Homo-oligomer: A and B are copies of this chain.
Amino acid sequence: MSRLKDTMAAEAQAVNDHLDSLMPTSGDPEDRVVEAMRYASLDGGKRLRPFLVLQSAGLFSVARTCALNVAAAIEMVHCYSLVHDDLPAMDNDDLRRGRPTTHRAYDEATAILAGDALLTKAFEVLALGGTHADPAVRSDLVLELALASGGRGMVGGQMIDLMAERGLLDGVQDVAAITRMHTMKTGRLISFSTIAGAILGKAPRPLRHALAAYAHDLGLAFQIADDLLDVEGSTATLGKTAGKDQAAGKSTFVSLLGLDRAREQARALSEQAVGHLDVFDEKADLLREVARFVVEREN
């Protein structure tokens, strides 16, 4: 798996450089919000979503800068969601990726605004001419990202998660309800990351659908692995607070299925995800490897 790790590290660097170039400071008085955007999005994370964009774009020989723009846009959305989720009114977290959360490093108001600005910037980047010569593709990307991340997608999933945590909602206590919640909260954006390459490459429908099926299973496997890490990992390894779900008394795949069955389920989903890639040749090998990686990772 060292080829995967090396490639992921190199691509994470490329995405970081690209994010850097998209958010320059200017010396103007509003730079504080741009600095907070940079703090929240640069130098951090595995960059799983950008990696999925770049790999899926590679299947269809999409131009590098187009794929990097989309990768950066999706990472901006992911990072904005972390900034807002970490706020005192939400998960109230002090630590993220081993560093103070954005509202700790700056202040709450700046963190709210930086999240807003990252989300807005993501749509700006997708609509730039450099993201694709065909405006129909750009418009399609905007629509898909909005659907994946809005009130019936990522934000809706976060709403359900918060309500369940605060006892405002019955019925997020079985596997079906937890699956739906996670499909919205994290799955939709992971799915969009994976099909973005197909959209950019104007891939035939069956190939786009194969990637969507892969992404669906991958996303769920990823979330179950996350629940396992919350129980089994340490704060030091994770770079974020461990044991949070249990402390909050939250229903998770682990609390519902138990450690062993949850781990089996994650592995089965990972293999199923790989199966959907049979229509692709060896160009999809790193996507196959990443599906195995997400369930074996340590953070």
Contacts and interface: CB of A to CB of B under 8 A. Distances in A.
A64 to B, nearest CB: 21
Interface in A82-137: 84, 87, 89-90, 107-110, 112-117, 119-121, 123-124, 126-128, 134-136
Nearest to A149: B120
Chain A interface residue count: which class?
35 or more
A29 B163 contact: yes
A27 to B, nearest CB: 12
Task: Give the residue among A110, A140, A159, A169 with the most B Cβ atoms within 10 A.
Answer: A159
A33 interface: yes
Nearest to A84: B112
A132 to B, nearest CB: 9
A119 B119 contact: yes
A282 interface: no
- If over half of A's interface residues share one DSSP class (helix, strand or loop), that class is named, otherwise mixed; here it is helix
A138 B139 CA distance: 6
A270 interface: no
Given A30-B184, A127-B146, A84 B116 contact: yes
A219 interface: no
Given A90-B112, A112-B87, A139 B127 contact: yes
23 contacts: A26-B152, A29-B172, A29-B177, A33-B156, A33-B159, A34-B151, A80-B116, A89-B108, A110-B162, A116-B119, A119-B119, A120-B150, A126-B142, A127-B139, A127-B143, A127-B146, A128-B143, A135-B136, A135-B139, A138-B139, A138-B142, A139-B139, A142-B142
Interface of A: 23, 26, 28-30, 32-34, 37, 80, 84, 87, 89-90, 107-110, 112-117, 119-121, 123-124, 126-128, 134-136, 138-140, 142-143, 145-147, 149-152, 155-160, 162-163, 168-169, 171-172, 177, 181, 184
